[in-house]
Amino acid sequence: MTGDSAISTATIERDIVIDAPVDVVWRTITEPDQIVQWFADRVDVEARPGGDGLLTFHDPAQDQLVEAPIVVEAVDEPHQFSFRWGHPSGERPVAGNSMLVEFTLVVEGQDRTRLRVVETGLELLDWPAEQKTAYADDHRGGWEHHLGRLQDLFSGRSDG
């Protein structure tokens, strides 16, 4: 039972409702020119299973750009999109060497979409406990920030 608390904190989850139709939200989370409006500073991704991508973020604390290579895991338009990241350089991401980020979209009422983001795999990584805790804390705050930006993006739109 020693690993239970680590596993219970290893899943990073956020759930929001966006005032936009599911097809619009889908484009906003899968198309590079849309992703840069709420998530990464630069985006290059092929939204197909096995597609490679690169997300570039500006780290204000160190005033530098940080690159995050990704590989698309699943695409089920307009309901599910997932990718793997956080894998060692030079390796293909798989369960055990990377994190899996899953976006699930559900129609909720007229012109509203529930977006759930779940990031998993931390318990499988061969990292020290402190590194796992720091990652989970950083990404919980990061998803809250970025999904807040996504909601804000739609709060001013009337045309979707």
The domain covering 4-155 belongs, at the CATH homologous superfamily level, to: START domain (3.30.530.20)
Per-residue pLDDT tens digits for 15-39:
999 999 999 999 999 999 999 999 9
Instruction: List the chain domain ranges.
Output: 4-155
Give CA–CA dist 156/146, Å, rounded: 16
- For residue 118 the two structure tokens come to 């779940």
Does position 110 have pLDDT exceeding 90, yes or no?
no
* pLDDT, averaged across the chain: 91
- For residue 153 the two structure tokens come to 């993006």
- The pLDDT-based confidence of 155 (bands split at 50, 70, 90) is confident
pLDDT of residue 9: 62
